[in-house]
Amino acid sequence: MLRNREGDYNTTSLGYNFFIDKRDFKNKPTSGFAATFEQKLSTPFLSDIPALETVLGITFFKEIVEDKSLGTAKLKLANASGLDSKYVKLSDRQHASNVDIKGFESRGIGPVDGVDHVGGNNLATLSFKSTFPNPIPDNLRANSFIFYDLGSVWGVDYSDTISSNSKIRSSIGLGLDINSPLGPVSFVYGVPISKSSTDIVQKFTFNIGTSF
């Protein structure tokens, strides 16, 4: 079935986005929220496979202990839908990264076609995080944190025989962000709590230039 989705396609896209920032401080917020909403349209007349992608993201901030602990709750919702009775391209399908749901490999959950994780038409993730004090020097601006993530990737519009695999995945763990001379460095250790037999687990993640 996956082979039937291969090929070259012409795509012309138009998009827009909104950003709302209601945090009290931009760099070290203690309360408020930041939200984004964006849509991308692969136009029906200029694209072989017209589609509409919609993404909503919102993060809430709340100081738990003054100058010591900050709690955040981050929600992400995404959908990709084909237009004109077409199915969305494989490259437009939704995937969860190892930032969305830590403890799993990027693109390692959701519907599977044969042995390939093909993503879904829908994605929903929710992440709770709280920082806590650490002994690292203040000049490195290091943040240690605990987290609990959950979410799912589901929906296979191009086949009725492939399982949507909509089971909720979840994980808990610890992380450390350091502002090193090389740029932001992140270390994360996540342990899946609920998963599917086809998921690809990745408990330890190290990134340079990306902060969780």
- For the purposes of burial, counting CB atoms within 10 Å of the CB of 95, is it exposed (0-12), middle (13-18) or buried (19 or more)? middle
Domain 2-208 fold: Porin (2.40.160)
Pair 119, 87: CB distance under 8 Å: no
Report the chain's terminal Cα–Cα distance, integer Å: 35
For the stretch 43-77, pLDDT in tens is: 777 777 889 999 999 999 999 998 889 999 999 99
Which are the contacts of 16, defined by CB distance < 8 A and separation ≥ 6?
Answer: 38, 39
Nearest to 121 by CA among 76, 85, 78: 78
For 92-127, how does the pLDDT look when each residue is reduced to its tens digit (9 = 90+)?
A: 899 999 999 999 999 999 999 988 999 999 999 999
